[in-house]
């Protein structure tokens, strides 16, 4: 009887320990970090076990189901109402047809975000998503710079 109870307790402890390890570890650890280190084109700055900056793109582990990529596209200050409306239309157009990410504007800051589920993407796929996201941020920055030049 004692052996059965001890075996059951050991099994439960072993099961909860591995489950806890899954919840307490983050995708920012070895797999993604090692993959990025092997990619000589990636500039990686580890800010914490939950956040890193990859080629200027913030990658943050939110939960076991979500990594959020984000970047400021452009800072716009002192826009007229007409200019703000035009930029808002461009943001809407991008959000409907853009290849990756979602744009938003808050107090003159245009930011792009994109969410990944680390359960379904590998470190190599995350790296590819970061590259596509960075390209989209750069392209939108250029588009918005052009728009701003015509508004001035």
With a cut of 70, say whether residue 24 has pLDDT above it.
Answer: no
4 domain residue, yes or no: no
- Of residues 32 and 103, more confidently modeled: 103
Q: How far is CA 9 from CA 4, 20, 23, 25, 107, in A?
A: 9, 16, 21, 24, 55
2 domain residue, yes or no: no
5 domain residue, yes or no: no
147 domain residue, yes or no: yes
Task: Give 34-89 pLDDT, tens digit per residue.
Answer: 666 666 666 778 888 888 888 889 999 888 889 999 999 999 888 888 888 889 99
With a cut of 60, say whether residue 17 has pLDDT above it.
Answer: no
11 domain residue, yes or no: no
With a cut of 70, say whether residue 9 has pLDDT above it.
Answer: no
61 domain residue, yes or no: yes
pTM: 0.74
CATH number where 38 lies: 3.30.1460.10
What are the helix (H) ranges across the chain?
2-24, 30-38, 81-97, 123-151
12 domain residue, yes or no: no
Confidence of residue 14 (pLDDT cuts 50, 70, 90): very low
- Of residues 143 and 26, more confidently modeled: 143
49 and 29 Cβ atoms separated by less than 8 Å: yes
Domain that holds residue 146: 26-151
31 domain residue, yes or no: yes
Q: What is the mean pLDDT of residues 93-100?
A: 92
What's the number of domains the chain is made of? Answer: 1
With a cut of 50, say whether residue 23 has pLDDT above it.
Answer: no
CA-derived radius of gyration, the chain = 21
């Amino acid at each position: 009887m004692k052996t059965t109870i001890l075996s059951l307790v050991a099994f439960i402890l072993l099961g909860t320990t591995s489950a806890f390890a899954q919840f307490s570890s983050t995708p920012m650890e070895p797999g993604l970090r090692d993959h990025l280190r092997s990619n000589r084109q990636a500039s990686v700055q580890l800010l914490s076990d939950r956040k890193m900056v990859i080629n200027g793109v913030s990658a943050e582990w939110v939960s076991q189901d979500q990594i959020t990529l984000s970047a400021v596209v452009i800072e716009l200050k002192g826009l007229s109402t007409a200019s703000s409306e035009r930029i808002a239309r461009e943001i809407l157009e991008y959000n409907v047809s853009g290849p990756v990410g979602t744009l938003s504007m808050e107090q003159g800051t245009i930011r792009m975000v994109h969410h990944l589920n680390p359960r379904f993407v590998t470190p190599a796929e995350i790296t590819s998503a970061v590259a596509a996201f960075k390209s989209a941020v750069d392209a939108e920055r250029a588009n918005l710079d052009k728009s701003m030049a015509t508004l001035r």
